[in-house]
Amino acid sequence: MTPLLALRDLTVTYATEAGRLTAARAVSFDLAAGEALGLVGESGSGKSTIAGAILDLLGDGATVEGDILFESVDLSELDAKRRRKLLGHRIGAVFQDPFTALDPAMTIGRQIAEPLVEHLRLRPKSAMERACELLADMGIDQPRRIAAAYPHQLSGGMRQRALIAAAVACEPPLLVLDEPTTALDVTVEAQILSLLAELRQRCCSSVTISRSCANSATASRCSTPARS
Amino acid sequence: MRLPPWRVILAGYVLAGIVVAAAGADWLAPYPFDELHVADRLHSPSLAYLAGTDEYGRDVLSRTLYGGRLSLFLGVAATGIGLAAGVPLGLLAGYRRGLLDEVLMRALDVVMSFPALLLVLLIIAVTPPGLGKTAVAVGILFVAPIARVTRSVTLDLVTREFIVAARARGERLSYILRRELLPNAWPAIVVEGSLRVAFAILLGAVLSFLGFGVQPPAADWGLMINNSRDFVETAPWLALAPGAAMSLTVIAVSLLGDGLREYLDPRLAYRQ
């Protein structure tokens, strides 16, 4: 069976003033459908760089070598438009800081509904209905009230739930979680982790990036990038 | 829906009043703007001439009302042109960076390194004078500073995680510019825009004074104030009506802009 996501000798270098800096060297792994992989490592070990490479967020300063195969398609060979269509649709992402990852000038509901409009071509109204359902799925009471709220009106845990709802809105087969609980306190962290574990059971594979093994406990397999 | 703060409502009414007064000058003005009352030259404010008369015996109040049309048009049209071109350019340059940003910003540097007046004169000199032409010239001049301000706000915004998150959701460029960057850059743009309205009216005054903008016997506020210089000691009321109208407009526009910024910003607290 072909893996859902496969990295083959992924090497990422950044151009810095002090010369080229290698952030990730020859990273390879396979992720089968339904599997959950944890990438655990210290700060600066290149975890987030790997996530950034998968999500095509590294920008012009970074050079990505090697192959990233998603559903047997090499992402680096896709043109920008087709790659963009994968993001949010087939690959969902959750970032570490729920306090900055939500647009402060847009209601929660619209931010969750947006990928549905963009990728699934839902009408804004039905996308908003779906966003409320998603919020309810994330264990949020009064989803309608929360959907009409702005990010600053919610707690960190609520915001992270909203971000997860936005990431899974299009039911992507792959979730990339970049330290999804780092910015949260321990009790909320436990809630979010169990929510993620539940999502994993239901639908998708995931790559979770974390600094501590405890956070990756829900992963079925762990891998540690060594600092080079 | 919450009510806008009282300052916004007040500023809105004042501005609406000024616009209505200027638009309805045909009915409101006691005299035609160019009617001469030679016997009553430099008449101080009285019941017959509420704001006095100028050196040709023309009613200052009537001229102020009619002049408002020209000044308001210039302020709004020039700022509108500047915003329409400057904001998209600034957003794009700030978001995309790279060569586009570099070329655009250096081009704007060149534009901004010329004195404003010289540049407007250059644009106007090529074509016959006219208010529409002046508005376009001033508007073009405004593109540079507005794009600058927009870009600098955008530069700060693009590093925020919610823009990265929008890219990770696979949003298209136009969505990120319109829905993510613009609303967050809006406060700065509104403030810049309201300042520009005032600046356009003032620049229009200078142009009229030099004979490039409004042609006599018509006069906008700026030209009336400029003309009153010679009579400051003998007939100080000449500057009073147009000056008050101009100040009121500028203050109302800034208050409206500033209040709208607060009103539109969901983070500021007087909702719920």
Residues 6 or more apart whose Cβ sits within 8 Å of residue B142: B78, B79, B81, B82, B83, B86, B196, B199, B200
pLDDT at B272: 39
Average pLDDT over residues B106-121: 84
Tens-place pLDDT, residues B129-162: 677 888 888 898 899 999 999 999 999 898 888 8
Tokens of B253: 């526009």
Average pLDDT over residues A210-223: 63
Q: How confident is the model at residue B1 (pLDDT cuts 50, 70, 90)?
A: very low
pLDDT at B247: 86
> Distances from the Cα of B98 to the Cαs of A17, B9, B158, in angstroms?
17, 43, 14
- Mutate which: A103, A154, A209, vs B, most B CBs within 10 A: A103
Nearest to B184 among A105, A119, A167 (CB): A105
Tens-place pLDDT, residues B222-241: 788 888 888 888 888 888 88
Average pLDDT over residues B13-31: 85
Q: Are A86 and A25 in contact (CB under 8 A)?
A: no
The pTM score is: 0.78
Q: How confident is the model at residue B271 (pLDDT cuts 50, 70, 90)?
A: very low
Contacts of residue A87 in chain B, CB cutoff 8 Å?
167-170
Q: Are A166 and B169 in contact (CB under 8 A)?
A: yes
Which option is the CATH number for B6-22+61-264: 3.30.390.10, 3.30.1490.20, 1.10.3720.10, 3.90.400.10? 1.10.3720.10
Q: Is A101 on the interface with B (CB under 8 A)?
A: yes
Burial class (CB in 10 A: 0-12, 13-18, 19+), B128: exposed
Tens-place pLDDT, residues A122-141: 898 999 999 999 999 888 88
Taking an 8 Å cut-off on Cβ atoms, the answer to whether A104 and B180 are in contact is no
Taking an 8 Å cut-off on Cβ atoms, the answer to whether A150 and B171 are in contact is no
Average pLDDT over residues B204-233: 79
pLDDT at B155: 92
Strand, coil or helix: A21: strand
Strand, coil or helix: A183: coil
As a whole number of angstroms, the distance between CA B104 and CA B6 comes to 40
The domain segmentation of chain B, as residue ranges, is 6-22+61-264
Average pLDDT over residues B168-173: 86
Average pLDDT over residues B73-98: 92
Beta bridge partners of A223: A39
Q: Count residue pairs from A and B with Cβ separation < 8 A.
A: 76
pLDDT at A214: 55
pLDDT at B149: 93
Amino acid at A7: L
Dihedral sign, CA of B164, B166, B167, B173? negative
Closest CA to A162 of A181, A143, A183: A143
Taking an 8 Å cut-off on Cβ atoms, the answer to whether B167 and A57 are in contact is yes
Q: Are B20 and B265 in contact (CB under 8 A)?
A: no
pLDDT at B57: 76
B237-264 vs B6-23: helix crossing angle, rounded to 10 = 130
Burial class (CB in 10 A: 0-12, 13-18, 19+), B39: exposed
Average pLDDT over residues A161-175: 89
pLDDT at B198: 79
Per-position DSSP letters for A124-142, written without gaps between them: HHHHHHHHHHHHHHTT-SS
Q: Are A193 and A158 in contact (CB under 8 A)?
A: no
pLDDT at A126: 92
Q: Minimal Cα–Cα distance from B210 to chain A, Å?
A: 45
Terminal alpha carbon distance of chain A? 32
pLDDT at B150: 94
Q: Does the pLDDT value for residue A193 go beyond 60? A: yes
Helix (H) or strand (E) holding A77: none
Question: Angle at Cα B154 formed by Cα A43 and Cα A177, nearest 5°?
Answer: 35
Average pLDDT over residues B3-13: 81
Q: Is A74 on the interface with B (CB under 8 A)?
A: no
Average pLDDT over residues B193-208: 83
pLDDT at B270: 44
pLDDT at B41: 74
Q: Does the pLDDT value for residue B86 go beyond 90? A: yes
pLDDT at A228: 47
What would you measure as the largest C-alpha separation in chain A, in angstroms?
Answer: 53
pLDDT at B22: 86
Taking an 8 Å cut-off on Cβ atoms, the answer to whether A95 and B175 are in contact is no
pLDDT at B263: 73
pLDDT at A132: 93
pLDDT at A222: 67
Q: Minimal Cα–Cα distance from A170 to chain B, Å?
A: 10
Question: Is beta strand A221-223 parallel, antiparallel or unpaired with respect to A174-178?
Answer: unpaired
Q: Mean pLDDT for chain B?
A: 83
Q: Mean pLDDT for chain A?
A: 84
Q: Does the pLDDT value for residue A29 go beyond 70? A: yes
As a whole number of angstroms, the distance between CA B210 and CA B121 comes to 10
SS (H, E, C) B214-254: CCCCCCCHHHHHHHHHHHCCCCCHHHHHHHHHHHHHHHHHH
Q: Does the pLDDT value for residue B92 go beyond 90? A: yes
Taking an 8 Å cut-off on Cβ atoms, the answer to whether B168 and A55 are in contact is yes
Tokens of A29: 């792994």
Q: Does the pLDDT value for residue B267 go beyond 70? A: no
